[in-house]
């Protein structure tokens, strides 16, 4: 065969990546600060979106690492270091949680109001326990991130196969931990915005939405890096295909959970379950709700359904950007009706946070690439991963 693991040569990313990252970060931060002084409450609500966007992408990137080890997948081994680099967003989550933590009194009704339902939920929904949960969840994620990437990086030089075996055991531990923790996080930050309402599938829906976004970010990075020769030259379009396959599967599953949540609540028509949907069905929110079907399902589905699209770099880039937009759209739909029940409002405040999120992701990724190989060169599965074909 023509490929070999030793063909990879580490090349530094061009400085323009860092410049773009810092530029977006600067503009985003500036807009966020201006927005905070102009419209503080709105900015606080948007900061929930920002935190959940970055947290979801970070932890589901680590989930992709874990699922590769656990399933013994080979197609993703040449790309795994990219997953690891995006999961380093976890390290910065405490910073992005701060704006939410310091404005909880303004954001969450349950912190200062009470009635019979909230009184019964108070054993779980109280501020000290919220902080404890947040600290434990982010702490666990950081520990797992350090262990996974530590083993993976060590393997680059030692080529020790037992490190893979260690990470497999770690993955078996991490996946249930992640399932529970991402559910708890989505309940705390998103579902408790309307604390009387509950849905048991909410955490799954947030997880799978984040997974589509994480795969989209990974796809953008992989396509741009590989087309410009920064990855192993054995990385081919069949690897893009697999990422696209993951995205379409996650998109369909997102629609499945979102629809089953909506339909069951609509069908049962129980007073304690319907208000959340009524808030998203009143006035102009109805447009956003119905547009979700188009934005988050029909368009990505038909962008990705054909094999030739999943093997085409430009179409994959377009589909990934669209899916990131769809995920932000979904977060907006979940968070903002709590801020403005009378109708959606989109302006430079929201745009500033999108720029900030993009700046954070690009800057963090760029910093990661400086010190690390972009390919897990010591992984025993790398050769098979490079030989992966459809």
Partner 1 sequence: MSNQLYALSGQFETPDEIMHAAEEVNKKYKQYDVNTPYPVHGMDGAMGMGESPIGWVTLVVGTTCMLLMLCFIAWIQLVDYPTTFAGKPDFNLPGYVPILFETTILTGAVTTVLTLLFVVCGLPNNAHPIHDTNYAKRTSDDRFGIYVEAKDPAFNEAEVRQLFEQLGAKDIAPIYIDAEEVAAGKNMSVLKPQFIGFAATVVLVISGAAYFGLNHMVFLPPYNWMSVQPKVVPQKTNTVFKNGVSMQLPVEGTIARGFIPYAKVGAKEGFGQSMANPLDPTAEVFALGEQKYLTMCSACHGNYGQGDSRLNGQYPAPPSLHSKKAVEWADAEIYHVITNGQNIMPSYAKQLTRDERWAIVHYVRALQRSLNPKETDVQ
Q: What is the binding site for partner 1 (CB under 8 A)?
A: 1, 259, 262-263, 266-267, 269, 305-308, 387-390
Two tokens at 357?
Answer: 């999120």
Shortest distance in whole angstroms from residue 279 CB to partner 1:
18
Cβ-based nearer residue to partner 1, 301 or 348: 301
Q: Which of 211, 178, 176, 204 is nearest to 190 (CA)?
A: 204
Residue-by-residue DSSP string for 293-335: IIIIIIHHHHHHSSHHHHT-HHHHHHHHHHHHHHHHHHHHHHH
What is the rounded CA–CA span in Å between residue 304 and residue 322?
Answer: 11
Residue found under tokens 């500033």: 352
Residue-by-residue DSSP string for 18-85: HHHHHHHHHHHHHHHHHHHHH-HHHHHHHHHHHHHHHHHHHHHHHHHHHHHHHHT--TTGGGHHHHHH
| Number of other CB atoms surrounding residue 255 within 10 Å | 19
Buried b (16+ CB within 10 A) or exposed e, 358-372: bbbbbbbbbebbeeb
Two tokens at 351?
Answer: 């745009």
What is the rounded CA–CA span in Å between residue 237 and residue 234?
Answer: 10
Shortest distance in whole angstroms from residue 238 CB to partner 1:
8
Cβ-based nearer residue to partner 1, 227 or 387: 387
Shortest distance in whole angstroms from residue 21 CB to partner 1:
36
Cβ-based nearer residue to partner 1, 10 or 389: 389
Shortest distance in whole angstroms from residue 101 CB to partner 1:
38
Shortest distance in whole angstroms from residue 305 CB to partner 1:
8
Cβ-based nearer residue to partner 1, 30 or 305: 305
Cβ-based nearer residue to partner 1, 121 or 311: 311
Shortest distance in whole angstroms from residue 262 CB to partner 1:
7
Cβ-based nearer residue to partner 1, 173 or 390: 390
Shortest distance in whole angstroms from residue 306 CB to partner 1:
7
Cβ-based nearer residue to partner 1, 6 or 269: 269
């Amino acid at each position: 065969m023509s490929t070999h693991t030793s063909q990879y040569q580490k090349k530094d990313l061009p400085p323009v990546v860092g410049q773009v990252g810092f530029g977006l970060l600067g503009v985003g931060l500036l807009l966020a600060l201006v927005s905070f002084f102009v419209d503080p409450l709105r900015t606080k609500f948007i900061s929930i979106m920002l935190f959940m966007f970055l947290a979801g992408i970070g932890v589901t990137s680590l989930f992709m690492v874990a699922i590769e080890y656990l399933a013994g997948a080979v197609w993703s081994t040449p790309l795994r270091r990219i997953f690891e680099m995006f999961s380093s967003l976890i390290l910065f989550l405490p910073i992005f949680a701060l704006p939410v933590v310091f404005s909880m009194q303004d954001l969450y009704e349950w912190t200062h109001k009470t009635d019979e339902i909230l009184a019964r939920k108070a054993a779980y929904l109280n501020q000290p326990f919220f902080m404890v949960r947040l600290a434990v969840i982010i702490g666990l994620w950081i520990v797992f991130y350090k262990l996974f990437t530590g083993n993976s990086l060590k393997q680059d030089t030692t080529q020790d196969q037992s490190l893979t075996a260690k990470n497999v055991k770690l993955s078996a531990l991490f996946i249930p931990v992640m399932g529970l923790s991402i559910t708890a996080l989505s309940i705390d930050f998103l579902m408790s915005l309307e604390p009387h309402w509950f849905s048991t599938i909410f955490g799954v829906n947030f997880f799978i939405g984040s997974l589509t976004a994480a795969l989209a970010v990974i796809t953008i990075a992989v396509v741009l890096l590989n087309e410009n020769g920064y990855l192993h030259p054995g990385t081919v379009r069949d690897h893009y295909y697999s990422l696209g396959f993951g995205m379409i599967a996650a998109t369909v599953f997102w629609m499945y959970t979102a629809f089953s949540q909506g339909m069951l609540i609509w069908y049962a028509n129980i007073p304690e379950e319907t208000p959340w949907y009524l808030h998203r069905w009143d006035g102009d929110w109805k447009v956003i709700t119905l547009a979700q079907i188009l934005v988050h399902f029909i368009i990505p589905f038909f962008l990705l359904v054909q094999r030739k699209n999943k093997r085409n770099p430009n179409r994959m880039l377009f589909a990934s950007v669209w899916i990131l937009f769809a995920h932000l759209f979904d977060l907006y739909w979940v968070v903002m009706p709590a801020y403005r029940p009378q109708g959606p409002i989109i302006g430079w405040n929201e745009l500033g946070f999108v720029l900030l999120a993009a700046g954070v992701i690009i800057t963090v990724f760029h910093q990661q690439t400086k010190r690390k190989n972009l390919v897990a060169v010591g992984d025993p599965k790398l050769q098979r991963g490079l030989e992966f074909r459809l």
